[in-house]
Amino acid sequence: MMRGRAVRLLAATLVVIGSACSRGSNATVPPTRRGPNLTYVAIGNGETAGNSVKNRIRSAWPQIVYRTVFPRSAIFVNLGQNSVTIDEAAASQLPVALSLAPDVVTVELTDDTFLTRDATGYQAKLERFVQRLQRGGRTRVILGNIPPGDREPGVLACTPNPPAGSGPCRIGSGFDIDASNARDAEFNQAIAAAAAASAVPLVDLHAAFLRARAAGNEDAFYAGNDFSPNEAGHAFIARQFEPAVRAALKSRP
Q: Which residues bind another protein (CB under 8 A)?
A: 2-3, 6, 9-10, 13-14, 16-17, 20-29, 31-32, 34, 37, 55, 57-58, 63, 66-67, 72-79, 81, 92, 96
Q: How far is the CB of 20 from another protein (least distance, A)?
A: 5
Q: How far is the CB of 25 from another protein (least distance, A)?
A: 6
Conformational region of residue 117, where left means phi above 0, alpha means psi within -120 to 50, and beta covers everything else: left
Q: Which is nearer to another protein, 26 or 251 (CB)?
A: 26
Residue 145's nearest CA partner among 95, 187, 175 is 187
Q: How far is the CB of 67 from another protein (least distance, A)?
A: 7
Q: How far is the CB of 202 from another protein (least distance, A)?
A: 26
Quote the crossing angle between the two packed helices 231-251 and 205-214, to the nearest 10°. 130
Q: How far is the CB of 17 from another protein (least distance, A)?
A: 5
Cα(11)–Cα(171) distance, rounded to whole angstroms?
93
Task: Name the 3-class secondary structure at 178.
Answer: helix
Q: Which is nearer to another protein, 6 or 220 (CB)?
A: 6
Q: Which is nearer to another protein, 96 or 179 (CB)?
A: 96
164: number of CA atoms within 13 Å, CB side? 0
Q: Which is nearer to another protein, 13 or 181 (CB)?
A: 13
The torsion angle over the Cα atoms of residues 63, 68, 73 and 79, rounded to 10 degrees, is: -20
Partners of 144 in beta bridges: 203
Q: Which is nearer to another protein, 73 or 217 (CB)?
A: 73
Cα(161)–Cα(179) distance, rounded to whole angstroms?
18
